[in-house]
């Protein structure tokens, strides 16, 4: 006895179904809020810590490096004229958060003996990825040319980024004004983002995703870039870091990999906050190179 199957679904229906499945899978792969119940409490802790950072007379807030509203830098000198400067680039899938959110990291960066600068940049959808990367480059050029005006050592700085900010830190490490870089819990291959819900805002095309992916275009410079991730990160984030580190090794770039025991995507920043933190120590080492 034979049975008749129904008519085959049209190709566009099959494609739509496959796309929906990829989106659901990718969203799940990168959703820390769904995987860890304490994400909200970490964000609240960051807010409270950052609000406790009271600007001093020597601090310079909202230094304007471009025409767009978010093209501003906050600069917190550590008090040493000869100190190196660390530029921190925030994450948030290029669509959320601000430089003020991560101001609490002043504590750890100062403990490393460095000036702390926090970069603001235009978020998607107001800016495409090419523009965001160019803003990161432009901000560095602006800042390094004015460090002397602010009474700070005019020397290349260390760039540190977290999550999406790690991609930006990696993209600008080839600039002459950068001495070294560090990426924490980074996204270095943007191609998976094209399948995620966030691409409704990012609007990444294939070529734009490729040219802004450090894993696919590893910097071929003799500057150290430290790849950091937490041992309890989601597998997709771990793979992003492992793949980028392997690309750096293959390109002959000096690199180091640090896996932070027991840390998740959000808790890992405590190692750059606590004076004795592992990433504070690493920052001090990079600043001395």
Dihedral of CA atoms 171, 226, 101, 240 in degrees, nearest 10, equals: 70
Tokens of 258: 């640090």
Task: Report pLDDT digits (tens) over 58-112.
Answer: 999 999 999 999 999 999 999 999 999 999 999 999 999 999 999 999 999 999 9
Altogether, the residues listed in the chain come to a count of 289
Structural domain contains residue 2 = no
Please report the pLDDT score of residue 17 as a whole number: 80
Domain span holding position 157: 14-287
Please report the pLDDT score of residue 1 as a whole number: 46
Structural domain contains residue 88 = yes
* Sites in the chain below the pLDDT cut of 70: 1-15
Structural domain contains residue 4 = no
Q: In CATH, what number is assigned to the domain containing residue 81?
A: 3.40.50.1820
Distance of CA 241 to the CA centre of its chain: 12
Number of domains in the chain: 1
Structural domain contains residue 9 = no
Structural domain contains residue 6 = no
Structural domain contains residue 191 = yes
Neighbouring C-beta atoms of residue 243, cutoff 10 Å? 17
Structural domain contains residue 8 = no
Task: Report pLDDT digits (tens) over 156-180.
Answer: 999 999 999 999 999 999 999 999 9
Contact 191, 212 (CB under 8 A): no
Structural domain contains residue 189 = yes
- What's the rounded Cα separation, in Å, for the pair 238 and 183? 12
């Amino acid at each position: 006895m034979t049975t008749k199957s129904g008519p085959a679904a049209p190709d566009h229906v099959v494609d739509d179904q496959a796309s929906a499945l990829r989106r659901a899978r990718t969203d799940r792969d990168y959703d820390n809020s769904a995987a860890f119940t304490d994400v909200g409490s970490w964000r609240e802790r960051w807010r409270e810590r950052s609000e406790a950072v009271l600007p001093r007379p020597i601090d310079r807030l909202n230094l304007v490096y471009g025409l767009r509203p978010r093209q501003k830098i906050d600069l917190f000198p550590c008090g040493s004229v000869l100190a190196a400067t660390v530029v921190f680039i925030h994450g948030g899938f290029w669509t959320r958060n601000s430089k003020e959110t991560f101001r609490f990291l002043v504590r750890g960066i100062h403990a490393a003996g460095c000036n702390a600068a926090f970069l603001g940049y235009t978020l998607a959808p107001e800016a495409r990825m090419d523009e965001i990367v160019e803003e990161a480059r432009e901000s560095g050029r602006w800042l390094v040319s004015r460090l002397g005006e602010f009474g700070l050592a005019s020397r290349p700085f260390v760039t540190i980024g977290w999550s999406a900010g790690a991609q930006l830190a990696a993209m600008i490490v080839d600039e002459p004004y950068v001495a070294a870089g560090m990426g924490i819990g980074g996204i270095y291959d943007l191609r998976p983002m094209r399948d995620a819900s966030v691409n409704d805002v990012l609007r990444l095309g294939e070529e734009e995703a490729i040219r802004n992916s450090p894993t696919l275009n590893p910097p071929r410079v003799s500057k150290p870039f430290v790849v950091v991730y937490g041992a309890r990160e989601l597998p997709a984030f771990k793979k992003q870091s492992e793949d980028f580190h392997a690309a750096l090794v293959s390109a002959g770039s000096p690199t180091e990999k640090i896996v932070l025991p027991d840390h998740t995507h959000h808790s890992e920043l405590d190692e750059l906050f606590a004076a004795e933190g592992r990433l504070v120590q690493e920052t001090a080492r990079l600043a001395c190179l």
